[in-house]
Structure 1
Amino acid sequence: MKQNKIFFISGPTATGKTSTSINLCRHLNENNCLSEIVNFDSLVFYKELSIGTAKPTQEEMGNCKHHFVGMNSAKEPINASDFINMADKLLENLTNQGICPIFVGGSAFYLRAFIKGMYESQPISDKVRNDSQKIFEQEGIQFFRDFLKKNDISSYNNLHENDHYRNIRAYEFFIQNNCPISDEKKKHDENSPYDFSINRLKNYSLHHIYLDLDKQEHWNIILNRCHQMVKDGLINEVRDLLTNGFTGNEKPLQSIGYKETIQFLNNEFKDQNEYIERMAISTRQLAKSQRTFFKKVVPKKSYHPILDRSKIIEDAQIFIQS
């Protein structure tokens, strides 16, 4: 019996994942294989964020049906567990209709969580979340760092003090479950964390398309993209968000592009050139960490997003017919 098929398109930021997914989706639909695109980029979920997330345009989405694009407010962040629950329901629905999904995005954590599963734990209660938020507002991140140093030294050593989200998450996990999140991570990682052939999607066959390119070529693309985002109105987009009820402390607004733009609006850069350069450097650093993660992932097929366009389609067709 043939298994249901799923495509995954991943890679560092600014490597052409959106255009590749649309090109593949159109090809499949034109060749009698119904296909739709499922976003797993964590910032593209949010309706208020467009320019700084390189969200697919209405014209691009008109070529292929997209899911999980601009579906939620940035005031109500979606976590990996939320994404898995939504994606599981959607996957079942698409499969029942005979539709082959193409999952696309750069959020490595969300991709691995969906394919491999997550730590088993009780959901963090509203009380714990509210309490930790109040503590953070009153005492800052140092309270959480001190707590982890005493109760979860592995997380304390592995997390940077500026990574407020994960420090607070580790604290909340301990309060909720009475055990360190690092212990749960260790158990989880014993299950070959980078081998996607060992996965929870038992009734599916997976084809992982990984996009990457030469670092200098990639830097030029990143720099051009940052200039283009500013030209397209990123500064006004962020200014409007801050005028319409956002504080700038929301987790999505602390992401690359938005964080630097808020700093620019607060006059923390000497000029616009320094602001764009800082944004580009931060993007390159993100790409480096994504590259480090995906380098460990197996199995996958690696492609240059431009030079290998025909090869991507050719291999996808072989996968569909297998």
Structure 2
Amino acid sequence: MMGNKKKLIVVVGPTAVGKTAMAIQLARHFNTEILSADSRQFYTEMSIGTAKPSEEELGLAKHHFINSHSIVTEYSAGDYERDALTLLEKLFEHHDYVIMVGGSGLFVRAVCEGLDDLPRAPAEVREQLNRLHEEEGIGVLQEKLRSLDPVYYESADIQNPQRVIRALEVIEATGLPFSSFHRRIHEKRSFDVLTIGLNMDRARLYERINQRVDGMMAQGLLAEVKALQDFRNKPALLTVGYAELFAYLDGEIALDEAIDRIKQNSRRYAKRQITWFKKYGNTEWFAPAEWEQVVRFAEKK
């Protein structure tokens, strides 16, 4: 390995592109371990809808931050930054390379760059925004965000009410765009970061997403959602794959429409993930099957 610094290989890209398979191949090649940076795979109770690695996949390489928390405990990007950096310090004592994988851009950035301490809005601002979401839906909040901060709107996961409301809170509290708080001076890390982006032809990716959703329904996603109804207002459950099925269970839409909406919202989310990671850092892009090229790239750096 060139230089003395340890290397964190971060595998990013849109949902369903094949990040898990790439991370496992890299972990096995470098005889190392994997940190998940998927903001929903932390939760034990959410498995099918979050596309967690299978038991077989988990057995192929040691994974961290999967099934690490209960849905009753909210786990922020700041919490993840603290815990992941502590773990990385231990792992780098025994490994030259560690793999991190996930599509949650905020959690990836927390570890690689650090997060700004965002100002807290008054409680009444949050309550007002939550009430607006409950009464008029997420579309109104999305339009508000697009008007007030088009820069953040372009890369944000706008299907996630928690993210939209948090951004609007900061804007209301400070009068400044949420995007203006993104850290301009990155935290110095004791390791180097190599960001590997995976992508493929858009039509093929969308077909994989549709097939994944059908597979989740066949595996019992609806039963998983039913079992989580008591926690439906938790931020992690206000997301794609769960919110649509709660709407079905409430009698608002038919099941077929709920499934179509999951597919549509997943495709939209994938598009935003690609936008985020294309703008993020020095991401090197590869096809999902090019793991040997990724290894060569990592070993040369």
Mark yes or no: TM-score above 0.5: yes
Are positions 1:101 and 2:98 aligned together? yes
On the 8 A contact 1:15/1:305 being kept in 2, the answer is: yes
On the 8 A contact 1:209/1:303 being kept in 2, the answer is: yes
Q: Please give the TM-score of this superposition, normalised by the length of structure 2.
A: 0.83
Q: How far apart, CA to CA, are the structure 1 residues paired with 2:205 and 2:165? A: 33
1:17 to 13, 16, 19: 19
On the 8 A contact 1:39/1:105 being kept in 2, the answer is: yes
Identify if the C-alpha distance between structure 1 residues 155 and 48 changes in structure 2 by more than 3 Å, giving closer, same or farther: same
Q: How far apart, CA to CA, are the structure 2 residues paired with 1:106 and 1:167? A: 17
Identify if the C-alpha distance between structure 1 residues 181 and 115 changes in structure 2 by more than 3 Å, giving closer, same or farther: farther
On the 8 A contact 1:141/1:164 being kept in 2, the answer is: no
On the 8 A contact 2:162/2:238 being kept in 1, the answer is: no
Aligned-partner SS, 1:106? coil
Cα offsets for 1:173-204 (capped at 9, x unmatched):
479xx63453x742546x3xxxxxx7424432
On the 8 A contact 1:46/1:69 being kept in 2, the answer is: yes
Q: How far apart, CA to CA, are the structure 2 residues paired with 1:300 and 1:50? A: 28
Q: How far apart, CA to CA, are the structure 2 residues paired with 1:43 and 1:318? A: 33
Aligned-partner SS, 1:82? helix
Q: Which amino acid aligns with 1:45?
A: F
Match of residue 227 from structure 1: 214
Q: Which amino acid aligns with 1:318?
A: K
Quote how far apart the aligned CAs of 1:107 are. Answer: 0.5
Match of residue 82 from structure 1: 79
Identify if the C-alpha distance between structure 1 residues 311 and 158 changes in structure 2 by more than 3 Å, giving closer, same or farther: closer
Cα offsets for 1:138-175 (capped at 9, x unmatched):
676789x99xx9xxx84599769986424543465479
2:260 to 261, 266, 277: 277
Identify if the C-alpha distance between structure 1 residues 232 and 95 changes in structure 2 by more than 3 Å, giving closer, same or farther: same
Identify if the C-alpha distance between structure 1 residues 310 and 186 changes in structure 2 by more than 3 Å, giving closer, same or farther: same
1:258 to 237, 242, 250: 242
Are positions 1:236 and 2:233 aligned together? no
Aligned residues: 289
1:297 to 280, 284, 297: 280
Q: How far apart, CA to CA, are the structure 1 residues paired with 2:46 and 2:97? A: 28
Are positions 1:111 and 2:108 aligned together? yes
Are positions 1:315 and 2:300 aligned together? no
Q: How far apart, CA to CA, are the structure 2 residues paired with 1:138 and 1:315? A: 49
Structure 2: give runs of 5+ residues left out of the alignment. Answer: none
1:27 to 19, 26, 29: 29
In percent, how many aligned pairs have the same letter? 31
Q: Please give the TM-score of this superposition, normalised by the length of structure 1.
A: 0.78
* Greater C-alpha Rg: 1
Q: How far apart, CA to CA, are the structure 2 residues paired with 1:134 and 1:188? A: 24
Deviates more, 1:219-228 or 1:82-91: 82-91
